[in-house]
Structure 1
Amino acid sequence: MTSGNLADVAALFDGSRLTMGRRLAGLRKNALAAAVELTPAAISFYESGGKKPSAATVAKLAMALSVSPSFFLPDGSPHAPATAHFRSLRSTTQLARDQAEAYVQVVAEVSRVLERHVDFPPVRLPVRPVGADCADDTPERAAAELRAEWGLPEGPIPHTVRAAENNGVLVVFTPPQSASVDAYSVSRADRPLVLLNPAKDDYYRQRFDVAHELGHLVMHTDEEPGNNIVENQANRFAAEFLMPRAQIADLLPTRADWPRLAKLKETWGVSLQALLYRARQLGTMRDVTYRNAMTTISTRGWRRREPGTVLSVEQPSLLPRAVELLPPDLLAAESRIPHHLLDVVTSRTPVG
């Protein structure tokens, strides 16, 4: 980029874009300041808009963050507040949360650009708020309502990611550097997002993750994320969404019948552990039987990798197909997102 263009970027510099780029890189202000030979206070001024960087500083910032200088230009889109639902706030560092939330901004920006050129399915995601003090079967009823709203047939859901995408929910994999953060979801006014961990290459657990995050999007738009009560409600939602009581209760064994459980696993596309959880939840299996079965799961090393058919994880297709319809480089030019991140956002498979 010429010095004249750098001067233009410096004049129009958007501090929020610097914050976004820094968080995407997983850097604190002091680390970025050291990389560009400035003070953390200077970085704070640039991010808050209290001061504009020089053209030379713009070039240094772009190089340090592996973005083009034009990345720092205003994008003109409102950044509405959105709550990200992380599984555990205690085990997720602030730096990792910041990085994950910055990636959400990237996905939202990519989506906005693509929707200028390609029609996406309308969002059909009913909101059924469930408070932390809920003591009835509201999570299960919310799951049943979503299946009905989406017109899902009785029995196993063939493809959870496709069902979500067909109803306007964006599903993407996160970058490899975010593998420490489990699957999470974000309720946005324009389009809800489900973000999947790229390191979790387990077909059965991924399906439960998608259902769990759908539960958050349906039930917890206003609830504080990360607490055990909210997470348990999302698990109950996921269990009913994937294994409706009326359709699976009579199929579940009362004891740890492993051959029978293995067949149910393949039929319903859920893990052995999810089936055991469901059997205890529905009262088919006694607590002591469930605990003994889970001990066996641990002893045999099945918590990490269960026996059975190894299937590839379900693949998102909404964003990848939209990109295929556009001229090469149009998305990069209009979004100004670095190519390496665009590759992750629009990939059908985890990028390693």
Structure 2
Amino acid sequence: MLNRKFNGARLKEGRIYRGYTITELAEYLEVSKQMVSKYENAHVDPAFETVHKIASYLDFPVQYFYEKSVEVKVGNTYFRSLLSTGKKDREMQLDRIKYITILRRMLEEYIDFPELDILKNFEYENDMEHFTQQLRTYWEIGDKPIKDIVLLLEEKGFILSSIYLENKSIDAFGANCSIGNKDYYSIVLSSDKQSFYRRQFDVAHELGHALLHESSIVFNDLDKEEQKQIEKEANDFAAAFLLPREPFLRDVLMHPNDLEYYKMLKKKWGVSISAMLMRAYKLEAINDGTYQYMQRLISKKGWRQKEPYDDIKEIAEPMANRQAIELLVENDYFSGSELLKILSKEFGLTVLPNEVEKLLGLEEGYLIEKEPPLTNNIVQIKNIRSI
């Protein structure tokens, strides 16, 4: 490693991954901002002692800064709260998507995952009801409620992960990625302050971006009004996909003006009361006056922050990547440390065990091998002989 050249681009990647500015890193290293910029742009190599300080501050192994990972092409990154997510936060999460995709590529060497089964041959044509019905038909869902959209997307080959995100305004984000000639679609969900029902809509929203926008827009070219439009389309997709028009209308029209009735529908359709109310309004099952009245009632009942049944149903967690690791480790295919070595040697990504645990939703400490108990006792009990 000592003979390898310091990778300034990797320094920038790691700094942004941790959410630090050049100024913050410069102050910690007691150098100028210009010097850090020179490090990142490969104009100056930091001293080895400085690299150790960088590694300590950014919480990456030293080797991380001397390597280059396999190339991952990342498309537009869509955020559930797109308009309230700043550029810094979007950039900070970009490499989490990339690293999760690299981990999946590594695991595919040993595990058979479902192939990405994404709708490609159908046009949106401004008819969301028809578009979502085509997808339901293609995936053989019919008109049934989607009991667990996280499980559904994993079965369809999407990569999902639930991780702790310091920015509380980010609920979920996703992006199309490719390694070599293989395409992936990765979705990251916030593990903080969620309910099963909110997560259902978050995942459906990200699915909407994947199907409606990934191949048709250049995100950086969008102005705020255009961003609002694609957010609206993703929300409309999520509502139409989770609550298909005809069967949902049959249910809601039985008692459209009774807010208590929506509690029962929530159990059946797996969608929040607030989202169902909006869907009922857009489908003209309730008029504007009734909708506004019920919204005020929701506020009065305190359901803005927490709805009935939110704390009863367990949140759906991604399973595929975690199960893959557990299959390999529990069956002694390789140990946690061997997995990390493969990730480093073959994929150019040297990270600490806890980083992989966070990215894949593993139990803390799972990849750290336990020290075997000491058996080299100097003394032992004598054999007891009968007299």
User: Structures share a fold, TM > 0.5?
Assistant: yes
Q: Match of 2:73, SS?
A: coil
1:151 is displaced (CA, Å) by: 2.1
**Is 1:164–2:178 an aligned residue pair?**
no
1:88 is displaced (CA, Å) by: 4.2
**Is 1:241–2:241 an aligned residue pair?**
yes
1:348 is displaced (CA, Å) by: 6.5
Alpha carbons of structure 1 residues 180 and 337: separation in structure 2 relative to 1, 3 Å: farther
Unpaired runs of 5+ residues, structure 1, are none
Maintained 8 Å contact 2:11/2:65:
yes
**Is 1:209–2:233 an aligned residue pair?**
no
**Is 1:332–2:334 an aligned residue pair?**
no
Maintained 8 Å contact 1:204/1:271:
yes
The one-letter amino acid of 1:319's match is N
The one-letter amino acid of 1:140's match is E
Q: C-alpha deviations, 1:29-48, integer Å up to 9, x for none?
A: 11111112222222222222
1:83 is displaced (CA, Å) by: 1.0
User: What is the match of residue 367 of structure 2?
Assistant: none
Matches within 5 A, 1:8-23: 8=3, 11-23=4-16
Question: For residues 354 and 199 of structure 2, what CA distance do their matches in structure 1 show?
Answer: 24
User: What is the match of residue 274 of structure 1?
Assistant: 275
Question: For residues 122 and 84 of structure 1, what CA distance do their matches in structure 2 show?
Answer: 21
User: What is the match of residue 196 of structure 1?
Assistant: 189
Q: C-alpha deviations, 1:207-265, integer Å up to 9, x for none?
A: 01111110000001143377221111111111111111122111114643123211110
Instruction: Name which of structure 1's ranges 110-119 and 121-130 shifts more when overlaid on structure 2.
Output: 121-130
Alpha carbons of structure 1 residues 218 and 62: separation in structure 2 relative to 1, 3 Å: same
Alpha carbons of structure 1 residues 349 and 233: separation in structure 2 relative to 1, 3 Å: farther
Question: For residues 31 and 135 of structure 2, what CA distance do their matches in structure 1 show?
Answer: 52
Instruction: Name which of structure 1's ranges 220-229 and 296-305 shifts more when overlaid on structure 2.
Output: 220-229
1:328 is displaced (CA, Å) by: 2.1
1:349 is displaced (CA, Å) by: 8.8
Alpha carbons of structure 1 residues 17 and 118: separation in structure 2 relative to 1, 3 Å: farther
Q: C-alpha deviations, 1:73-117, integer Å up to 9, x for none?
A: 334411314211124454223332221112222212222222222
Instruction: Name which of structure 1's ranges 283-292 and 250-259 shifts more when overlaid on structure 2.
Output: 250-259
Aligned-residue Cα RMSD (Å) equals 2.4
Q: C-alpha deviations, 1:50-71, integer Å up to 9, x for none?
A: 3333322221211111110111
User: What is the match of residue 313 of structure 2?
Assistant: 311
**Is 1:58–2:51 an aligned residue pair?**
yes
User: What is the match of residue 228 of structure 2?
Assistant: 228
Larger radius of gyration: 2
Alpha carbons of structure 1 residues 81 and 294: separation in structure 2 relative to 1, 3 Å: same
Alpha carbons of structure 1 residues 87 and 201: separation in structure 2 relative to 1, 3 Å: closer
Instruction: Name which of structure 1's ranges 53-62 and 199-208 shifts more when overlaid on structure 2.
Output: 53-62
| TM-score, with length taken from structure 2 | 0.81
1:153 is displaced (CA, Å) by: 4.0
Maintained 8 Å contact 1:170/1:192:
yes
**Is 1:84–2:91 an aligned residue pair?**
no
The one-letter amino acid of 2:340's match is A
Aligned residues between the structures = 340
Sequence identity percentage = 29
User: What is the match of residue 42 of structure 2?
Assistant: 49
User: What is the match of residue 345 of structure 1?
Assistant: 359
Alpha carbons of structure 1 residues 130 and 29: separation in structure 2 relative to 1, 3 Å: farther
The one-letter amino acid of 1:313's match is I
1:128 is displaced (CA, Å) by: 6.9
1:312 is displaced (CA, Å) by: 1.3
User: What is the match of residue 113 of structure 1?
Assistant: 106
Matches within 5 A, 1:175-190: 175-189=164-178, 190=183
Maintained 8 Å contact 2:239/2:275:
yes
Question: For residues 229 and 19 of structure 1, what CA distance do their matches in structure 2 show?
Answer: 33
Unpaired runs of 5+ residues, structure 2, are 329-333, 344-348, 365-387
Alpha carbons of structure 1 residues 315 and 27: separation in structure 2 relative to 1, 3 Å: same
Q: C-alpha deviations, 1:110-132, integer Å up to 9, x for none?
A: 2222222222211111247989x
| TM-score, with length taken from structure 1 | 0.89
Maintained 8 Å contact 1:100/1:178:
no
Maintained 8 Å contact 1:256/1:289:
yes
Instruction: Name which of structure 1's ranges 20-29 and 182-191 shifts more when overlaid on structure 2.
Output: 182-191
Question: For residues 140 and 363 of structure 2, what CA distance do their matches in structure 1 show?
Answer: 27
Alpha carbons of structure 1 residues 76 and 272: separation in structure 2 relative to 1, 3 Å: closer
